[in-house]
Amino acid sequence: MKYENVYIESINYSIPDEIVTSDEIESRLEPLYTRLRLPEGRLELMTGIRERRFWPPGMMPGEKSIETGEKAIRCSGIDRSRIGALVHGSVCRDYLEPATAAGVHNGLGLATDCQLYDVSNACLGLLNGMVQVANMIELGQISAGLVVGTESSRGLVETTIKQLNADTSLTRAKIKLAVASMTIGSGSAAVLLTNRALSKTGNRLLGGVARANTDFCHLCRSDRDQSADADMSPLMWTDSETLMQEGVKTAQAAFEDFLKEMDWQREDIDRTCCHQVGRAHRKLTFEALQLDTKIDYATFETLGNTGSVALPMTAAKGIEDGHLAKNNRVAFLGIGSGINVLMLAIDWQADHRA
């Protein structure tokens, strides 16, 4: 896919105030650790994740999506009446119906002719939303669109801790399937895209590639979908090692397509922002893609794996820290369970905050 008329006007984020360290999680797992004689510190040692954050109990994802979406609109300087599409792309949502995007649309005061809907694709939902909005802009259907989402990890982490302590049949081998669940953090991100005429930054979305490898769709799986009146206490079991290996293989194949599609060489890429999983995943990915981690910006150590908002949130924090500079060629490298890969190329020119 290639674009001539699509620009990224602002990328914004919100994070919770409550910090939960890996040490705290291990202290709550004391019954399990004692029974299996597990050494303290293994969670951070295995993942490289020191801490993650939780939203306040009872907070709905849509609440924070409104807040983060508002930041993106204000930072862009775009009149909200020009926003012709709103995509809510996180795994977490307020209700099974209506779409969480409906409440966010109302909270942001967007126009009545603005298309709105939810997109769900594990850790790639917001990137998929960016592609869908970009397609509408390129076709001339809309002049601007907003992609937003909020992930909340409290329920998953706390339910996992409870289950691990209660199930005395679990072995060291079996609890490996729950490690990924304890790395999950909370966050919110929003991306506002426009056409050339509205853009003030000149940050052009050049295009990208997508690749699927659904032979491994079973490697990371939550509970079955539940009705609105069910318990809604999520659990997720992940074969992290195999998912990492197969995900990186899929990314490696997609990356070759990406370079060809964009007519880039590896050395043409100035900066990267990737989905945030952990230290081992990052190391293996960059080795496989033959890229230097020095061009990357990472947040997993302090934010954990924040699902669909991880990559755009990391990009937004990287922008704050000066990770991107004028004329940088930037690669967004998204890998999600399924297995799905989506890679996007950006010609970066200016920070919307400048």
Integer-rounded Cα Rg, in Å, for the chain is: 20
Say what the alpha-carbon torsion angle 118, 238, 334, 85 is, to the nearest 10 degrees: 0
Q: What are the distances in angstroms from CA 231 to CA 62, 178, 223?
A: 20, 20, 11
97 is catalytic: yes
Active-site option among 97, 241, 256, 320: 97
Cis amide bond preceding 98, omega within 30: yes
Q: What are the distances in angstroms from CA 30 to CA 35, 164, 280, 337?
A: 8, 10, 25, 30
70 is catalytic: no
How far is 172 from 299, CA to CA, in rounded Å?
28
Active-site option among 92, 114, 123, 220: 123
DSSP 252-286: HHHHHHHHHHHT--GGG--EEEE----HHHHHHHH
For the annotated catalytic residues, the residue numbers are 97, 123
